[in-house]
Amino acid sequence: MEEDIKEHEDQLNECLRHGNDILRRAHPDAIPTMKHWINILKVLHTSLCLVVSLEYYAVVKMLYL
């Protein structure tokens, strides 16, 4: 599971690099929208990692009770 999260984190970082590269060249009117979507990617990834961690610990706790 940790390998999957690491792989997805690597993909997210690559996506964020591309997004920031596009952002540097974007038309000024597009910058707020680009920043919004970049932020959404970060928030979704963080939320997903949190949910996966909580579910993992819940399963571990159930196994050892």
Q: Summarize pLDDT for 2-27 with one digit per residue, the tens.
A: 777 788 889 999 999 999 999 999 99
Does residue 23 contact residue 34 with C-beta atoms inside 8 Å? yes
31: containing domain? 2-63
Q: Quote the pTM value.
A: 0.73
- Of the two residues 54 and 14, the one the predictor is more confident about is 14
Give the chain's domain count.
1
